[in-house]
A and B are shown apart, each in its own frame.
Chain A
């Protein structure tokens, strides 16, 4: 019988297999950041162990880093200690590090792909659940805990029980103005935050094949929000074209050998998935969340749901709690929800295409009075590219704040936070209670919806700008 993409990559990394034991898998790439690594390095030190493969390991600073005044000492002494600990650990164990101020610094899941380190058919791990992002290349990529970080540092392997496989087939054309973010939010709303539990998801179908690499990363990034361990997309010409010429992409004969191998990384026609889900892309529209988990979402054109409409008691209770926390009432149109803050950034939507699409909407328009808009590029490279294209000017002229790269308000470990009761439209991945700051209320949205929302001051799509008298403004070349 044929094998799925996930099974092929898994099989190619089995170091040891024994009856009744988890498979021992080899890890091709280990990404580190400051938050989930200090206790792992400490464990190595106490046991007198080394990092086995420094050549398969790379670290960056992202979760804690400030997005303003990066040349000044970090004000929060605890954040500063954590960054200093990473620097000390990387120096001691010989790990390549891109610290704050370095041109390759940025959100770990933006840095790996842009360096060309994330490649098809590799196993990629990081002490961060959004490691699923890298699955967009046909890599088997998943988040791990700190004990496993230590395990990979010491052995370059992980003992793992096999995953189940789920096909998410998306056919049809995404309508104009509907993005990868809307699609993944709709998928999570459909299968639920626990729907992917125990599975590796494979996104396939004509609508997925048409997506750019960056859009594919947005999709795979949020696989974890459906409870899945990983999400994958079979590599194709789009993948190869993205990788060719990047710093760590193979060259010459190695490139040819790699592409030959990468082309085999497709689910066989006779392979059987453990579960299958079908989505019609043409039926989708801009999608936003109203609740406190990423599965509590609805089309922007809908109303806040009535908890009484849920048959399942625990879902009903969860919806009641969510509305209470979010300060919303059942039946209220989502479009009438006003926001205080708009955040564009994160490992979900902090790449150059995301910034371009937000800029194309803000061009010639102004952020509404009383709304704060933060633009946080996913990496320094993304930031430089945006500046070269003049996007930073578009943002600042519209009244948005152009910031330095990092995780920023996605999780508010640095000073970029919501105040209690403040409400955001955010291109990030989690709308959990207090995620963006204690008492903060988060609506997850696409970059386009974020930009239109910033202009109108309430949740809105670009199509609403015309209706609101914010007619299209000519877009200069290059934006």
Chain B
């Protein structure tokens, strides 16, 4: 995973609540067996509308998505995170994320930042008024900064450390081999098995 320390870029306001993962990446895109090439599927249905915010020239090349509440609800598809990253987003800001989407984002180095709804509103107004305005998402100091907005955010220390270092969860867990073996040795015999080994 690529490390995330701090990122500054232009932002896109997405004024919709409950953006589910079927909107982020429709199911027919999930047939791909790779982690890349999902950028054209991102918000596919909405992008058919020329007025949709991602189709507006002034937001081309933006790297921060400022979304409505309950972003990423629904399916567990990690493809939603890949699609946002493939398109070029480095961070998503919302007042509330669905759990699975949030977990997926942090495992892929897409920083999902939770801010109070009123701060999200201010950021959306800012980038609507001035699409060239830059937003900084600083994981080192856990702060979002833009013109007239300075907002601290929370992220648990362990998740932050993994992101800052770009650490791979599996390698970290494999260091716990002794504990895993000890746990396995004590599992009751009545636990189900799918095959005899």
Contacts and interface: CB of A to CB of B under 8 A. Distances in A.
Contacts of B176: 15-16, 24, 157
Interface residues of A, number: 83
Interface string A129-165: 1010000000000011111101100111101010000
Interface of A: 15-16, 20-22, 24, 26, 28-29, 35-36, 38-39, 42, 47, 49, 54-58, 63-64, 76, 78-79, 81-82, 85, 96, 116-117, 119, 122, 127-129, 131, 143-148, 150-151, 154-157, 159, 161, 193-194, 197-198, 224-225, 227, 229, 248-250, 254-255, 257-258, 261, 293, 314-315, 317-318, 321, 411-413, 430, 432-435, 438
Interface residues of B, number: 60
Which 9 pairs from chain A and chain B are nearest by CB? A145-B104, A38-B33, A145-B78, A258-B190, A143-B76, A254-B190, A250-B190, A147-B107, A146-B78
Given A122-B191, A227-B70, A321-B16, A430 B22 contact: yes
20 contacts: A15-B176, A39-B34, A39-B78, A55-B193, A55-B196, A56-B194, A96-B194, A117-B192, A143-B76, A159-B173, A161-B156, A193-B18, A194-B69, A197-B96, A229-B100, A257-B188, A413-B27, A430-B74, A432-B22, A438-B45
B116 interface: no
B138 interface: no
B31 A39 contact: no
A26 B18 contact: no
Contact of A54 (B20, B77, B195): B195
Interface in B172-191: 172-174, 176, 179-180, 183-184, 187-191
Contact of A28 (B20, B30, B75, B191): B191
Contact of B100 (A129, A151, A155, A432): A129
A433 B44 CA distance: 11
A321 B14 CA distance: 14
B129 interface: no
Contact of B170 (A96, A155, A193): A155
A147 B17 contact: no
A79 B31 contact: yes
A317 B180 CA distance: 49
Nearest to A260: B190
B32 to A, nearest CB: 7
Interface string B25-66: 011101111110000000001000000000000000000000
A108 B193 CA distance: 16
B88 interface: no
Contacts of A38: 33-34
A49 B170 contact: yes
* Interface core residue of A21, A39, A255 (most chain B CB under 10 Å): A39
Contacts of B98: 194, 197, 227
Contacts of B74: 129, 224-225, 430, 432
B183 A20 contact: no
A38 B174 CA distance: 21
A29 B180 contact: no
A157 B28 CA distance: 30
B130 to A, nearest CB: 23
Contact of B104 (A76, A147, A261): A147
A227 B77 CA distance: 15
Interface string B71-115: 001111111010000000000000010111001100110000000
Given A129-B75, A157-B180, A430-B74, A438 B104 contact: no
